[in-house]
Structure 1
Amino acid sequence: MTLSPHTPSAPAADGSTGVPDRPFDTVLVANRGEIACRVIRSVRALGLRSVAVYSDADAGARHVLEADLAVRIGGAAPAESYLSIPAVVEACRRTGAGAVHPGYGFLSENAAFAEALDEAGIVFIGPSVHALGIMGDKIRSKNHVAGFQVPIVPGIAEPGLTDEALLAAADVVGFPLLIKPSAGGGGKGMHAVHHSEDLPEVLVTARRVAARAFGDDTLFLERLIERPRHIEVQVLADGHGNVIHLGERECSLQRRHQKVIEEAPSALLDAATRRRIGEAACSAARSVDYTGAGTVEFLVSDAAPDEFFFMEMNTRLQVEHPVTELVTGVDLVAWQIRIAAGEELSLRQEDIVLTGHAVEARVYAEDPEAGFLPSTGTVVALGEPAGEGIRVDSSLLNGGTVSSSYDPMLAKVIAWGADRRQALDRLDAALADTVVLGVDTNIEYLRLLVTDDDVRAGRLDTTMIERKLPDLTFRRVAGEDLALAAVLLVEAEPVVPGGSPWHRADGFRLGTPRPRAITLEVGSVTETVLLQGAEHGWIATIGETRVHLEVVGNGVILDGIRSPRSFAVDSDTVWLGDAGWSARVRRPSRRELLDAALARISREDGAADPLVRSPMPGTVVSVSVEDGATVQVGDVLLAVEAMKMEHQLTAAVSGVVRLSLKPGDLVRAQQVVASIDAPDPAPDQTASPAEQPTEGNAA
């Protein structure tokens, strides 16, 4: 257990101060990352003591440093730490925490966790076990709210549905349809099916994903409303019968059912619809005697915006809660704590006024150009934006580690403006000022979305990103980028003492200095940069491109013009950044270059690689073939999961597969996980009779 300085009490964002007659003075935050940091801010603003919990992977994490106390609760795997109810309860006992804020994800909607806290005499900063039980089950919640005049999407939602029952009901529900896990959240495990013949196979995958992610493989079906809008309503309810809503959030910009950019309010709804959908959300909350902050999610038809359908109620804080806070001025976390302490809401519905517009973008450690594969590593350069109307909720630290064990979200960049256009402009500028080097991020992708014409015009739906993604143009590493990388690597080389020309690696020779050839790797492509020293800086030649480049302190001068670049050198890798764009450029070793050359010689030009490599670090979650089996091109060999993303690895060639991995094994990025040998040639059927095998005794 570590102790850090305590911050004095400060007013909450909506003007409230400490919690009167509070039944607890210490709040443990049972989460990690940016949400743990966010909750700690409000805990301390209320004059309470904050406790962080951490796994082995998070020992030096930002939330650990920002809390008053920090307690280790287990290993890196979530099941050993953040999902361990006994470990969290024991941490409360050790620190004297009288209340627990669960954040979102992990145990935030776990009824067994709330029960365990209640048995230990600890306040759960969230709704009752009753509300968790009903709203935490998507099937039960849909059937429940339908009885309170809340409209629901057509479908079949019953407990314990088998695959056979779902297949039988599918034609009644109608195609296209959506398979959803009953215990799910955040879009995890949802699968769209457009044709009946695809449903049996997708059901198998959906059950496996649901069981692994939520410990419950119960599924249900819903009619898929094509081109829908995802609108959610924030509610607050106290233990004295008061329920209010704080307007809606537009969350239609999604990829694979995961929200990417959110805003408040929605540009789609008029005042009358806003009032009706808000009343429906409050009805859903009242139906379970809800207390605390919650979100009721609706599907709204883009073609008929006055129609909306209940999807689910999230019985916790949402990732996108900052946009509501910015347009209402209400600190939702502070009110969660105050309500849990028994305080009555001092806000009434007429007090809630939406002022201006706010937009949030989620910064993830992922590579959009590589199918959004998650990225891990160490943050080697960090710069977070600031300025009027800008808020950043972040877990990032310079030198901090991004682990494969957890969700890839690193930070949220949020902008407020007097109107939607100003908010979008400010968000774009803030993203351009965001620097995260050391891991791949989606910042450039976010800027492309924020500046898209349809997004600017408010023409949104939940399938929009999937349609636009193939046409998005990402910036490529150019010749001047390679030149900068080469110069940075050369200038970072250790200086050999003594000054002997025989110990220098700069191409020394009598007469005109020989240019140095620096081979660089960007993805799977290698390029050679020729470097020659100049009076100031270097002359770099890459093919037909010639650049005069000088690195001065933290700046770069390209052909006499100062360029606003960010960069960092980490061993053999250079990270480059520019207005939200970033790239890694690596200098392969001589051994790697030789091995690659030999591998090219051993197979024909254009032939597929028989070695199967994992594109990301992670855990093997399934193996589909046995060692020695014969496989065809495209067959799934195994699946690797990292940061809640599953990636299936397939055979690029046909042949006999060789692998020794099993579920649970850890793999590194680019590790060879399988190899495929060419099949043995078939016997030659044209051999002469003397060469043919004979039966019996030839004599």
Structure 2
Amino acid sequence: MTPMTSMTPAPGPASGPSGMFGTVLIANRGEIALRIIRTLRRLGVRSVAVYSDADADARHVREADVAVRLGGGYLDIDRILAAAAATGAQAVHPGYGFLAENPVFARRCAEAGLVFVGPPPEAIEAMGDKIRAKATVSAAGVPVVPGGAEPGDDLAEAAERVGFPALIKPSAGGGGKGMVLVRSAEELPEALESARRTAAAAFGDATLLIERFVEGPRHIEIQVMADVHGNVVHLGERECSLQRRHQKIVEEAPSPLLDAEARARMGAAAVEAARSVGYTGAGTVEFIVQGTTGDYYFMEMNTRLQVEHPVTELVTGLDLVELQLRVAAGEPLPLTQDEVRLHGHAVEARVYAEDPSRGFLPTGGRVLALREPADVRVDSSLAEGGTVGSDYDPMLSKVVAWGPDRASALRRLDGALAATTVLGVPTNIAFLRALVTHPEVVAGDLDTGLVERHLSALVPHGGVPDDVLAATALLLHHDRVPAEPADPWDVPDGWRLGEAAWTTWRLESRDGVREVGVRGLPAAGAEVRLPEGPEGRTTRARLAVDGDDLLVTLDGVRRRYAFARDGRGDTVWLGRDGDAWALTRHHLGDPGDRAGAGGTGDGVVRSPMPGTVLVVKVTQGEQVVEGQPLLVVEAMKMEHTVTAPLAGTVAELPVRAGQAVDMDAVLAVVRRDGES
């Protein structure tokens, strides 16, 4: 459908089928906006998308029935309400993130005569303040994490009461953003500074709380649904223990830890937590569970739909967005607690624009090629030709697999990730495959520290495989050499008497520059000299182009690759089995290894990611020691501290706080003492 982008489209119908809304505005973007559009389309409800200038060409803009430009961003309440009025929307679905848990927005919707598809603002306030939420649910008999702090408390004193290790959390936050684990009093001041900065930037509220950290915890959450008629049910649990820096990576339903009795007990506690604040709609009550004892403690309640809701949908057969809409329209829940049934097992993996080999720093770029599996559920905002920037969260898509049991669901998810290809934007897909096949994950022996403990084994460090080097060199050679030259002297490589000459291709990746020699015709069979060992290794290889794929036979093994070139044609992207590599062609005589991002041996400090300089901690001319923090760069609500690569003097400091920078942009230059 062609989206309308003016502010004066005709209003939609007053109501839809069976009393459902006729038009719903989605105050969000990306994969969640597309997910909501899908349900609205099935229900025959007109969808209205809103978009920022950065999202003008985004998929959710193209696929909605109507799209309205906001001009500013997704936090501009006035413009969102104006868009709803101009398009005749009766309801606003906030998705998750942005304004989804903002009680001011919920009230403004009501004042404008719009239905907010979510809980009452009073419930958002009660659960949005984690300090108040703990007191509320504790009074309702729900166990809470030991420790805490009252508003206005000195957090250093609260930390002493709670004891270490302790967890600092934004009171108004969610999704793990801003959470910092502190193991000693010495770590506390810097941790508080970072957590306050993140909380203020991400949630507009720098208030923090601190609580005892439960060692070896599992993160298990209960999905609840409540209507305006007093009915509250839970839809089972989700295991969300596979995390990194308190950010969920892989979620599943049901949890391999809980039996039916434990599920019923925790579900009942979640229902009581929802009742305690007069909750309506979809919500998630999150618990920290001690894996050895099974003791559980209320952690927080997210008053919205969760990123990981698809695993609940796959095991219950329910559309949670449809339930949200029907509850918001005043309908009673269509089922009782006894009618909730869980079937099989579902596992979800989050695909992020990030580079695990560089500390999971956010990435970006243009999507040159995209392939997503067809036999599992994929909630995705990706489109070939689209651009992934640093304006928003780095999550690109969710790959979700169902199976009759946990083992089959994990196998299907691994296969689906292997069939996922994103070229042009580095992603975490290879890391996800390593994680879902890790023996402890397969055994269900999970806790929130598992990923960090096994990070070195999960993150690929093997560099560019020989077959990828060979495939790239063969492709570049194929572009230059005709398949069947009419005259051997016409071959660009030239000929020696009796044999073709070698052509050396210099291929640069983030691991450095490697030289690969090719002699002969790739389509008919060529010799390839690979940079193995001190003298290299020579073997035979053959290349065929099959549409958007390359078929390369090397050492008797044929492999299939997706491939794409960047706009200049100098960089080739190859993808197979869920992994991707970018190799850039260099002509002989070009400089060798490119300076690595983040810092170099010559003192040039580069930005490790596209983003914004948040803090500059030094001044030009200042003496620094190796490893001293120089700047903090922020992208997608993630901070990265850039340090001095050597001891010396800050000779150049070309950036300032608030400045946007590209990946590999020069942030500072540190000169050793005595150097000019």
Q: Same fold (TM over 0.5)?
A: yes
Do residues 312 (structure 1) and 261 (structure 2) align? no
Corresponding residue number in structure 2 for 1:673: 667
Query: Which residue in 2 is equivalent to 1:264?
Result: 253
SS in 1 for 2:250: strand
Paired letter, 2:494:
F
Question: What is the aligned counterpart of 2:286 among 285, 290, 297?
Answer: 297
Q: Tell me how far apart the structure 1 counterparts of residues 242 and 648 of structure 2 sit (CA, whole Å).
A: 42
| Residue of structure 2 equivalent to 1:558 | 553
Question: In 1, distance between residues paired with 2:451 and 2:374?
Answer: 28
Query: Deviations along 1:250-269, whole A, 9 cap, x unmatched?
Result: 10011110111111111111
Within the candidate set 181, 198, 204, 2:187 is matched to 198
Quick one: distance in 2 between partners of 1:485 and 1:645? 34
1:609-668: CA deviations, max 9, x gaps? 210011211111111111221111111111111122211111011222120311221111
Distance in 2, matches of 1:134 and 1:588, equals 59
Question: Which residue number corresponds to residue 578 of structure 1?
Answer: 576
How many angstroms does 1:596 deviate by?
6.0
1:280 corresponds to: 269
Partners of 1:480 and 1:582 lie apart in 2 by 13
Out of 349-358 and 573-582, give the one that drifted further.
573-582
Find the counterpart in structure 2 of residue 694 from structure 1: none
The 5 Å alignment of 1:39-118 reads: 39-74=36-71, 80-118=72-110
Query: How big is the alpha-carbon RMSD for the aligned residues of Structure 1 and Structure 2?
Result: 2.5
Code of the aligned partner of 2:558: R
Distance in 1 between residues matched to 2:453 and 2:58, nearest whole Å: 37
Q: Which letter does structure 1 place at the counterpart of 2:387? A: T
With over 3 angstroms needed to count, the CA separation of the structure-2 counterparts of 1:18 and 1:610, relative to structure 1, is same
What does the per-residue CA deviation read over 1:37-77, in whole Å, with 9 as the maximum and x for residues that have no partner? 10111111111100111122212211112111111112xxx
C-alpha separation between the residues in 2 aligned to 1:493 and 1:25?
Answer: 58
| Distance change >3 Å, CA 318–CA 607, structure 1 → 2 | closer
| Letter matched to residue 404 of structure 1 | S
Aligned-residue offset at 1:675: 0.5
Q: How does 1:217-616 map to 2 (within 5 A)?
A: 217-305=206-294, 307-387=295-375, 390-472=376-458, 474=460, 475-492=462-479, 506-508=492-494, 511=497, 512-534=499-521, 536-543=524-531, 544-546=536-538, 547-553=540-546, 554-559=549-554, 561-570=557-566, 571-588=569-586, 593-594=590-591, 608-616=601-609
Contact 2:3 2:62 in 1 (8 A): no
CA contact (8 A) 2:493 2:500 kept: yes
* Counterpart residue identity of residue 437, structure 2: T
Tell me the residue number matched to 1:3. Answer: 3
- Mapped contact 1:234–1:246 kept (Cα < 8 A): yes
Code of the aligned partner of 1:367? D
Question: Between Structure 1 and Structure 2, how many residues are aligned?
Answer: 648
Paired residue for 2:646?
Answer: 653
SS of 2:558 mapped into structure 1: strand
Give the 5 Å matches for 1:122-141: 122-141=114-133
SS in 2 for 1:539: strand
Please tell me the residue identity of whatever aligns with 1:488: L
**Where do 1:659-698 residues align within 5 Å?**
659-680=653-674
- Are the aligned partners of 2:34 and 2:60 in contact in 1 as well (CA < 8 Å)? yes
C-alpha contact 1:260 1:362 (8 A) present in aligned 2: yes
Query: Does the Cα contact within 8 Å between 2:81 and 2:109 map onto a contact in 1?
Result: yes
Which deviates further from its counterpart, 433-442 or 292-301? 433-442
Instruction: Name the amino acid aligned to 1:485.
Output: T
Report SS of the residue matched to 1:70.
Answer: strand
User: Looking at CA atoms only, which structure, 1 or 2, has the larger radius of gyration?
Assistant: 1
For 2:201, the aligned partner's letter is: R
**Structure 1, residues 525-562: CA drift from partner, whole Å, max 9, x if none?**
11111122237153221232334131332231314543
What letter is aligned with 1:299? Answer: I
- Once residues 677 and 609 of structure 1 are traced to their aligned partners in structure 2, the CA distance between those partners, rounded to angstroms, is 8
Q: Which letter does structure 1 place at the counterpart of 2:473?
A: A
1:483 is paired with a residue whose SS is helix
For the Cα contact (< 8 Å) 1:191–1:206, is it kept in 2?
Answer: yes
3-state SS of paired residue (1:587): strand
SS in 1 for 2:37: helix
Q: For residue 565 of structure 1, what is the amino acid of its counterpart?
A: Y
Structure 2 counterpart of 1:41, one-letter code: R
Give the partner amino acid of 1:640. Answer: V
What secondary structure is seen at the aligned counterpart in 2 of 1:3? coil
Deviation at 1:18, TM superposition (A): 6.7
Given the superposition, is the C-alpha separation of residues 311 and 43 from structure 1 closer, same or farther in structure 2, using an over 3 Å criterion?
same
Give 1:509 shift: 5.1
8 Å CA contact 2:224, 2:284 repeated in 1: yes
Q: Distance in 1 between matches of 2:628 and 2:284?
A: 42
Aligned to 1:167, the other structure's residue is in SS state helix
Distance 1:607 1:395 in 2: 35
In the alignment, the residues of structure 2 paired with residue 473 and residue 201 of structure 1 have an alpha-carbon distance, to the nearest angstrom, of 28
How far residue 506 of structure 1 moved from its aligned partner, in angstroms, is 2.9
Cα distance in 2 between the residues matched to 1:589 and 1:121: 65
- Structure 1 residues 224, 47: closer, same or farther in 2, change over 3 A? same
Q: Deviations over 1:225-274 (max 9, x none)?
A: 01101010000000111100000011001111011111111111121111
Contact 1:356 1:418 in 2 (8 A): yes
Bigger CA drift: 482-491 or 630-639? 482-491
Contact 1:567-1:577 within 8 A present in 2 as well: yes
Q: CA deviation at 1:513?
A: 3.4
Out of 154, 178, 198, the position equivalent to 2:167 is 178
Name the SS of the counterpart of 1:622 in structure 2.
strand
1:3, distance to aligned residue in structure 2 (A): 2.9
* TM-score, normalised by the number of residues in structure 1: 0.89
Residues 190-231 of structure 1: CA distance to partner in whole angstroms, max 9, x if unpaired? Answer: 000111121122111111121111111111111000110101
Q: Determine helix, strand or coil for the equivalent of 1:506.
A: coil
Q: Percent identity?
A: 55
Distance 1:87 1:500 in 2: 68
Contact 2:431 2:459 (8 Å CA) reproduced: no
Structure 1 residues 473 and 214: CA distance shift in structure 2, 3 A: closer
Relative to the length of structure 2, the TM-score reads: 0.92
Deviates more, 1:94-103 or 1:480-489: 480-489
**Counterparts in 2 of 1:589 and 1:63: CA distance versus 1, 3 Å:** farther
Task: Give the letter aligned to residue 47 of structure 1.
Answer: G
Gaps of 5+ in 2: 5-14
Residue 510 of structure 1: CA displacement?
Answer: 6.2
Could you tell me which runs of 5 or more consecutive residues in structure 1 were left unpaired when the two chains were aligned: 5-16, 75-79, 601-605, 682-699
